[in-house]
Structure 1
Amino acid sequence: MSDSKLMRGTMVLTAATFASKIFGLIYIFPFTAIVGQTGIALYSYGYLPYTVLLSLATLGVPIAVSKFVSRYNSLGDYRTGHRLFKSGLLFMSITGLIAFLALFFAAPHIVPWIIENPTEQGNTFDDIVFTIRMVSVALLVVPVMSIIRGYFQGFQSMGPTAVSQVIEQIVRIVFILAITFSIVNIMEGSTGLAVGFATFGAFVGALGGLAVLLTYWFKRKKYIHEQIEKSTMDHQLSLKSMYKELIAYALPLSFVGLAIPLYQLIDLFTFNNTLIGSHLTQDESEVAFAVFSNTAHKIILIPMALATALSITLIPTITKSFTTNDTDLLQKQITQTYQVILFLTVPAAVGMSVLAYPAFGALYGLSDYEVGGYILQYYAPITLFFSLFAVTAAILQGINKQKIAVIALLAGLVLKIATNSVFLSMFGPLGGVLATYVGYTASIVITVWAIGKHADFSYKLIAKRAILIMVFTAVMAVGVMIANVGMQHLLPITTQIRAFPSLVVGVIVGAAIYLYLSYRSNLAGQVLGARFKFLNKKKQQQRGEG
């Protein structure tokens, strides 16, 4: 298969993943309007254990299977990959069933870890058990989907994964919004019932994704079997050897990808039990947890998704440069990756922090406006930390040092566990935010050091660019503060609609100031000029002089 076709397939898959994430962000706004922040907290109680258990059940299977199948296909051995696929379907079905049973029957025992003594003030014991059990059903289907997606990707066919991801997300979201609206607004049922059925949307969406994959399979089954029959080699690997190789691919990838869910799982088991009684009532604590773990968190992921999408495209080229020992090109590529992340994420993080109150009010309404704006204001800069860890871990993967990324994550998690309850006791809801900063800082220090050592990378230029970016961001922040204060003086935020003008004007002013300073200094051209040539001021001047 040609490189251009592979690149096109990778771009399609990246676009589908990004679209799926955007859908996953947008639905949370109407969903919150239906069930409220307490309902969002309940949704998180079910989804966070499910996400971690799903990752453990699948162990990064799609990428690992695709690497395995691709490797043996390229050697003319289509049989080995197909044998892995067939045994993998059975294995994933068994692990999915075990994961489902574990989560379903553990639900009553998980509740005290989340809230020791739930009362009628917030979500009840039965509500939480019901929600966890409803989402657990998806574990029967999703692991099977993962191995089918990985097998198709091993043939360099990204379409089935891309289409199934998007369809899965659309079906899930439509089901969630339709069922919750019907239960709450038409049937006048409880929020607990509505949220429980909302988490069941993971299973319904998975059925939609699986239907797409099966359609592709039956269309391509004949072609795949023809390829198997034409195999020029058969390595005749034992299942033990195949799975050993598969796990070697999968474990580092899956563990690093679990970074954010693992941090959130620590918060899930410490947040309410630390704050209820000492600082807040159950209802107040659950609202704060919903903001911290879900609603504010969704806003924070927007710039992270944009920044990592642009920079992560460099990772395959970094792998190639490292493999071919092209040191100069490797230095340039790592420099460019860092620059893109800092250039996009630093101003976004600061801008979100300054505009926290109008942003939260515009997107989620004013019912929990004060606590939402307060937490978002301090939590927004974490988007820079999320982005830096994701990208530095990917660079380490590119230079074949993924074990260091795993060590870095473990170090961060240990610090998060050690400090979370202490900081929550000292600082209230912001304690969880601070503990996340501490953990991610430790992880990033390790990954940044490792890149410097193992890629022989110099940080002098990055340090200079970072200082310039921070200066421009500081100027931008002052401008946004003035615009925000002025807008709220002219148009006080008394309704959700009235929060939009302050947000929009603040974003426009911030973007104008930062882009103007970046363009005039040619920082934008140096960082993004290869992608957006109109930003390269020096080249334009040279053409003008010519």
Structure 2
Amino acid sequence: MNPSFINFGGRYKLLSKDSLVKGTIILALAALIARVLGAVQRIPLIYLLDNNGMATYSNAFNIYMMLLVVATAGIPSALSKLVSERTALGQYDEANRIYKAAVLFALTAGAVMTVLLIVLAPAYETISKVPATALSIRALAPALLLFPVIAIMRGYFQGRQRMAPNGLSQIVEQLLRIVVAVGLAYLLLQIGWGHDWAVAGASFGGVAGSVGAVLVMLYYGMKLKREDRRSGETGNRTPVARMSYGDIFRKLFKVSVPIVLFSLAVPLINAIDTTITVGLLETDIGHAAAVDALGILGGRAQSLAGIPIILAIALSQSTVPVISSAFAKKDMATVNAQASKALYISVITGLPLVLAICAAARPINIFMFGDDSGTGIIAMLTAIAVFQIVMQTSGAVLMGIGQMRPLIVHVGIGIVVKLVVSFLLAPVIGIYGIIAATALCFIVMAQLNLVVLRKHVDYTILGKKWTGLAFTTLLAYAAGFGLELLAHRYVQPFGYRMSHMVDAILVGGVAFGLYIGLLALTKVVTAEDVARLPGPLRKVMSRFVRRPAASSGNRG
């Protein structure tokens, strides 16, 4: 395994596995907090803009996210790798030179993407059939000037083993986004600029968030520079042949382009939904109702369905560098064990939040958004997050063993499936046909990934425990759903919205807790399984799973 280093006064020590896991946990929790804040942001926005306004907002946001992935995904990972290698060897000037080259690329990419958004916004509005989309896209476009630079800075800090700046910048970004988006939307409505400008004002919150994030990164950048000067971490301690900017860009692109293509899968699917939904539905239900359905899908369901994915993916991907290193050394025993661990963790940790949100979809919807419109859409889109988790985790493992070409082919096949099935099912079952197409898309990509993975890796996810997991899942959901029916009718002590907040906590908590308890009862998770979970999860599960008197050791 390639060692990870951290510097202490010019001496390099191996970074412990616990530290690596802690770094992963920091980023995962920051991403989870940011995603929750993003979902919370939708509450006042839906009140101010209604579902039609959220359709426009989601349209602009999904296109922006897709271009943001193109401009940034993969580059931070590639930069982190190059910087960490040079820093570990004491080649500080070369590490900084690579960083400057990446910043130059980021500024160029950001400028190009911003111009593209501004110029092509009217054409996209025509295609999507959602009014005022062009205005909202143009209001959000300047954020792309900064976010590629932010991504590069995050990659640099990750390469220097500084995770706190990355996590804090995500949280500050979301907080500023919320304050400015809600504040501008409210202000523009109050001064009479109208609904379309209010939506554009909400979109401009993304620009404010980018400014906040880059200020956080600049502060930590200056702080790190001072630390380097005090500790003498300047110049090149070891001889090094300077890389040309051309060589740097080639290395960055070699690593990043496949990651970009794979990372585009989910933003592209969301963008497809916001592009085709109105056109597919308006013939049967009318244009206004179609826009309303899109507002629910983009404004409510997509924000909530994204929550269960974050922690599961972050935890499972912490093993991918180990897989990559072991595969390079042809240590297939480690590859098999770590691939199995990644897939196992992603499934086990992804399901409880999926169950909690699905079971409590109605009270969550009412508490957050004021009514139960689209509860079925929220529950269905959240349920298929399980397939997305498996797709992304299996894809990450394929990256670890260098199988990028089939991975990209699978994404292409999945997108084709998504489009074809959407056009076939939407005229029959409406918005649920579009969601079913998304589910089938993730299932196909996940299955293709697993088939190719099986040719190279002898992995096991749950083995003979799938029956126990299915029983656990069904029972936990049934209990939560049944409790929700009772709570909706009988537990209303604090008024409409606050009572449903209580219901959501009660129902989600029961579904979540019952799932954890049943995992131990059905022996889906044993003492041996607990031992291979990350620290925080190990502490939780150890309360439910008792280790036998004669310890059987660690399997993974």
Give the TM-score normalised by structure 1.
Answer: 0.88
SS of alignment partner, residue 236 of structure 1: coil
How many residue pairs match? The answer is: 527
Offset from partner CA, 1:322-357 (integer Å, 9 cap, x none): 344443343333333333333343454355444433
Task: Give matches, 1:104-253, under 5 Å.
Answer: 104-115=118-129, 124=131, 127-184=132-189, 186-187=190-191, 189-221=193-225, 227-253=233-259
Return the match for 1:438 from 428, 437, 440: 440
Alpha-carbon shift at residue 279 of structure 1 (Å) = 1.7
What's the counterpart of residue 477 of structure 1? 477
Q: Structure 1 residues 427 and 47, CA, compared in 2 at 3 Å: closer, same or farther?
A: same
Take 1:142 and 1:261, find their aligned partners in 2: how far apart are those partners?
A: 16
Range moving further from structure 2, 381-390 or 331-340:
331-340
8 A Cα contact 1:349 1:380, kept in partner: yes
Q: Structure 1 residues 347 and 92, CA, compared in 2 at 3 Å: closer, same or farther?
A: closer
Q: Structure 1 residues 303 and 14, CA, compared in 2 at 3 Å: closer, same or farther?
A: closer
Q: Which letter does structure 2 place at the counterpart of 1:207? A: V
What's the counterpart of residue 514 of structure 1? 515
What's the counterpart of residue 465 of structure 1? 465
SS of alignment partner, residue 473 of structure 1: helix
8 A Cα contact 1:399 1:455, kept in partner: no
Q: Which letter does structure 2 place at the counterpart of 1:60? A: G
Q: Does 1:452 align with 2:457?
A: no
SS of alignment partner, residue 279 of structure 1: helix
Alpha-carbon shift at residue 170 of structure 1 (Å) = 1.9
Q: Percent identity?
A: 24
Q: Structure 1 residues 516 and 158, CA, compared in 2 at 3 Å: closer, same or farther?
A: closer
Q: Does 1:54 align with 2:56?
A: no
Offset from partner CA, 1:369-411 (integer Å, 9 cap, x none): 24x1121233231110111112111122222323332222222
Q: Does 1:336 align with 2:341?
A: yes
8 A Cα contact 2:101 2:248, kept in partner: no
Take 1:535 and 1:487, find their aligned partners in 2: how far apart are those partners?
A: 29
What's the counterpart of residue 18 of structure 1? 32
Q: Structure 1 residues 75 and 288, CA, compared in 2 at 3 Å: closer, same or farther?
A: same
Q: Does 1:88 align with 2:108?
A: no
8 A Cα contact 2:177 2:209, kept in partner: yes
Offset from partner CA, 1:97-154 (integer Å, 9 cap, x none): 1211111121111111110xx6xxxxx3xx2221111001111222222223323333
Q: Does 1:65 align with 2:79?
A: yes
What's the counterpart of residue 279 of structure 1? 284
Alpha-carbon shift at residue 321 of structure 1 (Å) = 3.8
Alpha-carbon shift at residue 28 of structure 1 (Å) = 2.0
Q: Which letter does structure 2 place at the counterpart of 1:179? A: L
Q: Which letter does structure 1 place at the counterpart of 2:138? A: R
Measured on the aligned residues, the alpha-carbon RMSD in Å equals: 2.7
Offset from partner CA, 1:219-260 (integer Å, 9 cap, x none): 344665864523422323232222111101111222222221
Task: Give matches, 1:376-395, under 5 Å.
Answer: 376-395=378-397
Q: Structure 1 residues 156 and 484, CA, compared in 2 at 3 Å: closer, same or farther?
A: closer
SS of alignment partner, residue 234 of structure 1: coil
Take 2:22 and 2:354, find their aligned partners in 1: how far apart are those partners?
A: 31
Take 1:490 and 1:229, find their aligned partners in 2: how far apart are those partners?
A: 70
SS of alignment partner, residue 142 of structure 2: helix
Take 2:214 and 2:332, find their aligned partners in 1: how far apart are those partners?
A: 44
8 A Cα contact 2:165 2:217, kept in partner: yes
Q: Structure 1 residues 78 and 488, CA, compared in 2 at 3 Å: closer, same or farther?
A: closer
SS of alignment partner, residue 547 of structure 2: helix
Q: Which letter does structure 2 place at the counterpart of 1:303? A: P
Take 2:269 and 2:441, find their aligned partners in 1: how far apart are those partners?
A: 9
Take 1:324 and 1:146, find their aligned partners in 2: how far apart are those partners?
A: 31
What's the counterpart of residue 498 of structure 2? 497
Q: Which letter does structure 1 place at the counterpart of 2:144? A: L
Alpha-carbon shift at residue 358 of structure 1 (Å) = 2.9
Q: Structure 1 residues 227 and 267, CA, compared in 2 at 3 Å: closer, same or farther?
A: same
Q: Which letter does structure 2 place at the counterpart of 1:418? A: V
Q: Structure 1 residues 281 and 497, CA, compared in 2 at 3 Å: closer, same or farther?
A: farther
Q: Which letter does structure 1 place at the counterpart of 2:35? A: K
Alpha-carbon shift at residue 196 of structure 1 (Å) = 0.5
Q: Does 1:39 align with 2:53?
A: yes
SS of alignment partner, residue 230 of structure 1: coil
Q: Structure 1 residues 481 and 173, CA, compared in 2 at 3 Å: closer, same or farther?
A: closer
8 A Cα contact 1:79 1:234, kept in partner: no
Take 1:490 and 1:16, find their aligned partners in 2: how far apart are those partners?
A: 37
Structure 2: stretches of 5+ with no match in the other structure: 1-5, 7-12, 552-556
8 A Cα contact 1:522 1:536, kept in partner: no
Offset from partner CA, 1:250-282 (integer Å, 9 cap, x none): 112222222211001111221111211x12222
8 A Cα contact 2:45 2:182, kept in partner: yes
Give the TM-score normalised by structure 2.
Answer: 0.87
Return the match for 1:258 from 264, 268, 284: 264
Take 2:458 and 2:104, find their aligned partners in 1: how far apart are those partners?
A: 45
Q: Does 1:27 align with 2:41?
A: yes
Take 1:377 and 1:88, find their aligned partners in 2: how far apart are those partners?
A: 41
Offset from partner CA, 1:146-202 (integer Å, 9 cap, x none): 223323333333333333222222222221122223333x43552321220111111
What's the counterpart of residue 121 of structure 1? none
